[in-house]
A and B are shown apart, each in its own frame.
Chain A
Amino acid sequence: METKKLNHVQRVILRLFLTGSYENVKRAIVKLKTAEIVEIVSELRHADQMKFLSLLFSVRRAGEVLSELPEELASTLLSEFPDEKIGQMLLRIPPDDAVDLLSYVEENRREKVLSTLSEPDRFSLEKLIIFDEDTAGGLMTTEYIAIRDTMTVEEAVKTIRTKYPELDVYYIYVVDDRGHLVGTLPLNKLVLAEGDAIVKNIHVPDPICISPETPQEEVARIVSNFDLLALPVVDDDHKLLGVVTFDDVIDVVEEEATEDIYLLANLNTEERVFTPVIKSVRLRIGWLFINLLAAMVAAFTVSLFSHTIEQYVALAILMPIVANMGGNAGIQSLTVMVRGLALGELDFSAGWKATLKEVSVGLINGLMNGLIMGIITYFWSRNLILAIVMFFAMVATLIVAGFFGALVPIVLKWLKKDPALGSSIFVTMAADVGGFFIFLGLATILLNLYNVS
């Protein structure tokens, strides 16, 4: 837990800013990378952040910094800029970042901001806006280099030099006469090829490509499995629409991980540590309410046996152990499955195998912990029947937990839902209901049969 260390230049700029020598800040800030400026911004108080961003705007760097800030902060700061200024910011950053930045502006202002732009600029952004933010279309940039397959290496190099001297790319895309994507040419191949070689002969044919609707987690998985720097996005006709680059993919990996972790805990993905209390309450209330309903199902199960509990209060005392162990074992199974699905290590066809495995693990862990708990119960209550009931209940509960822990995420995935969504509530409920039913049910039968007091 170290405080974020600013480097020397960052500290100097921070000091210049706080002492009010804004002209010097403007001069010095040119030397910093975007991420370094972002670090300075997060050190400032809100009022200062706004002033700092106006300075950044005057050196034309407000847009790139805002697009790297956390969403909530960026939208608050953006709301204080006039439409025209936001419009200018959009033009100074790559189109995919511009679309993201625009999404931070309040919905009813977006049209107005767009209307400050020229027709072609506006059109190039609107083309991207139609795609969902969480898909390849929402991630891609339209800044890429495409060349004809019939060019020579020399011609290709000349094209790049004259038309795209500033572009920061590592792959070039190769298209045929109808604009269809036919290959990828990594820049290093281009650099190292002889000048008179034909592009068609040195490119990597049939590159992996995706459609704009591809969900972002799948994009991330493809990039990470194939170690790609960029992934081309094509339409139904195989025409190139844009490119998703590795830096977007890194963000997706982090975002998806947060999402899975949050969903396993029944949290809304928008919440952060310092989300205001009122908003947090609102965001959590829904799942807690569903959990309340699930807990009532468990309570109802118990109520079926209130007569038995009245006779043997020891049952009420042991109930939390059954529920707790079932819950914990269920979450273990659930988490292994959810992660396996997310990383692509598990797919449908193997679903039953994984379920069988989780059930077996539940059985064995149930036998072990049931044995321990049976012995403890015997010494505590001196009641052999109760000890036997405890043993069997533990085995059954952990099997139920393993079964549902594996099955629920697979079924959700099959229904094309996020496998982590609400699944922990369902698994806990299944383990509770199953556990209580078996524990109290067995107790009712056996204790009455042997009439132990």
Chain B
Amino acid sequence: MDQTTHLNHVQKVILRLLISGATSNLKKMLSKMTTAEIVQIFYHLRHSDQMSILQVLSTIHRAGEVLAEFPDELARNLISEFTDEKIAGMITRISPDDAVDLLTYLPEERQQTILSTLDREIRFELEKLLIFDRDTAGGLMTTEYAAVQEEYTVGETIQFLRKDYADRDLYTVYVLDESRHLLGTVPINTLVISGEDVPVRSIMVSDPITITPDMPSERVAALVSNYDLLAIPVVDADRKILGVVTFDDVLDVLEEKATEDMYHLANLDKEERVFTPVSRSVRLRAGWLLINLCTAILAALTVSLFRDTIQSYVALAVLMPIVAGMGGNAGSQSLTVVVRGLALGELTFSGGWKAVLKEVNVGFYNGLIHGTIMGLICYFWFKNPILSIIMVLAMIATLTISGLFGALVPIILRWFRKDPALGSSIFVTTATDVGGFFTFLGLASLAFRFFPPA
């Protein structure tokens, strides 16, 4: 919390400087802050304040690096208000992969106009990266990496790095043959401990793990995380090096993926953030809520089948929320375990039926336990043993159904190559509501035909 209080203070000072128009003080203050700190204070500012601070940042040449760290939504809104020349200035100051990210926030025509104002060399570089899909290794990689020829010695390599890489982060040197095929990697710590005259070829790690530019970003993330890699080189079909994906990009991918899973489970669009403007949030959520309304009507229709029974015995209406509430919660438990299992690769198809069977079992036992508790409570509340028995059976049925659909829905979605979390909670809730109400009210109307309640 310490860092947060500090940032809150900084934020207040910055706002005050902004309002009083003390631009030169503001510049001084901002230039002392790291990019991460600047990004932190941005989130809950008004759009106009965000814009003014970015204008100041662009005069100290830091607008680009700050924009590159924002969530998509925020960055897209802000960058579109800058002029073409300013954007061109920004993107030449940041690494090519970040520059491409910023460019893709703009419409195609603007991308072209901005690109046409750049130096041929930079332009060519960016155009090469622009062709890759954002969610692939090609979209993640940077073309800024250090590479040397195989016949270089350690001393020559260090000379070369001193010339071109003095101010950049650098942890691995890639060793290439004369037609840029990747032969091996030399971690920087090996360079430190090796003698100057040793050829890099003899100290390199040969046959490093490589990936192709079309590998989906989630697979890249899994690879980097399983193998504890700092960076992973991207090569074409010919094993020519194209670029490098670094671990910080992978951290972003992992966070993004987690957000996506969580959001899809709650029926949210992945674009939304805490401070997305109200009108846009409404638009993003309206669709799923409308679908939810339709499925809720299905549940209501189920209830309406039994209106006569409810009329003659209103305790049923009182108990309905319990059946629905328990089914919904148990269903989202099963759903979440299965969705996360699929995402982390712990569950594959072949294990699908086993997982379904397990969830059905868990649902059955939990239904039995909570049904018994609820049956007892019902007995003391309404003094009606028939109602208690109905409650026990309904609870078992509902929780079993919730286990079945909670496991089945995501597996089926995956089979259709859809995101297993997408919209699945609505399906599962509908299934448990309809199934639960049907068993509960159906059993009641059947039983009360033979044993009319007092």
Q: Which residues of A are interface residues toward B (Cβ below 8 A)?
A: 1-4, 33, 35, 38, 70, 157, 160-161, 165, 167-170, 186-188, 190-192, 223-227, 229, 246-247, 249-251, 253-254, 257-258, 260-262, 264-267, 271-274, 277, 280-281, 284-285, 287-289, 291-292, 294-296, 298-299, 302-303, 306, 309-310, 313-321, 323-325, 327-329, 331-332, 334-340, 343-350, 353-354, 357, 360-361, 364-365, 368-369, 372-373, 376, 424-425, 428, 432, 436
Contact = CB atoms under 8 A, between A and B. Distances in A.
B274 A344 contact: no
Contacts of A3: 348, 350
6 closest Cβ contacts across the A-B interface?
A: A257-B258, A273-B341, A340-B274, A295-B325, A265-B336, A335-B266
Interface string B126-168: 0000000000000000000000000000000010011001101
Given A291-B326, A323-B324, A191 B161 contact: yes
30 contacts: A161-B192, A161-B193, A188-B170, A188-B171, A246-B247, A253-B251, A257-B261, A262-B337, A264-B262, A264-B265, A265-B335, A267-B337, A271-B337, A284-B366, A287-B329, A295-B325, A298-B321, A299-B318, A306-B314, A313-B317, A317-B304, A320-B433, A324-B295, A336-B273, A343-B255, A345-B43, A354-B274, A357-B274, A364-B279, A432-B321
Interface in B258-281: 258-259, 261-263, 265-268, 272-275, 278-279, 281
Contact of A273 (B43, B286, B304, B338): B338
Contacts of A340: 273-274
B83 interface: no
Nearest to A262: B336
Contacts of B318: 299, 302-303, 306
B311 interface: yes
Interface in B1-51: 4, 7-8, 34, 36, 39-40, 43-44
A226 B165 CA distance: 20
B188 A191 contact: yes
Nearest to B354: A274
Contacts, number: 356
Contacts of A372: 290, 293
B348 A292 contact: no
B366 A224 contact: no
Interface string B322-335: 10111011101101
A227 to B, nearest CB: 4
A328 B289 contact: yes
B317 A306 contact: yes
B433 A324 contact: yes
Contacts of B336: 261-262, 264-265, 267
B104 interface: no
B161 A376 contact: no
B348 A1 contact: yes
A186 B169 contact: yes
- Chain B interface residue number, banded: 35 or more
Given A225-B36, A292-B373, A364-B278, A346 B43 contact: yes
Contacts of A357: 274-275, 278, 281
B286 A365 contact: yes
A368 B285 CA distance: 12
Interface string B58-72: 000000000000010
Q: Which of B340, B344, B362 has the most CB of A within 10 A?
A: B362
B322 A254 contact: no
B227 A277 contact: no
A187 B192 contact: yes
A192 B275 contact: no
A357 B280 CA distance: 11
Nearest to A245: B228
- Most A Cβ at <10 Å: residue of B158, B226, B346: B226
Among B187, B251, B261, B286, the one with the most A-chain Cβ atoms within 10 Å of its Cβ is: B251
User: In terms of DSSP, what is the predominant structure of the interface of chain A?
Assistant: helix
Contacts of B106: none
B292 A328 contact: yes
A229 B263 contact: no
Contacts of A299: 318-322
B404 interface: no
Contacts of B320: 299, 302, 316, 319-320
B254 interface: yes
Contacts of B433: 320, 324
Given A284-B362, A316-B317, A354-B275, A365 B370 contact: no
A244 to B, nearest CB: 13
Interface string B300-326: 100110010011001111111110111
B99 interface: no
Given A320-B296, A323-B321, A376-B297, A347 B268 contact: no
A351 B451 CA distance: 55
B369 interface: yes
B132 to A, nearest CB: 22
Nearest to A416: B1
Contacts of A70: 346
A246 B275 CA distance: 29
A407 to B, nearest CB: 14
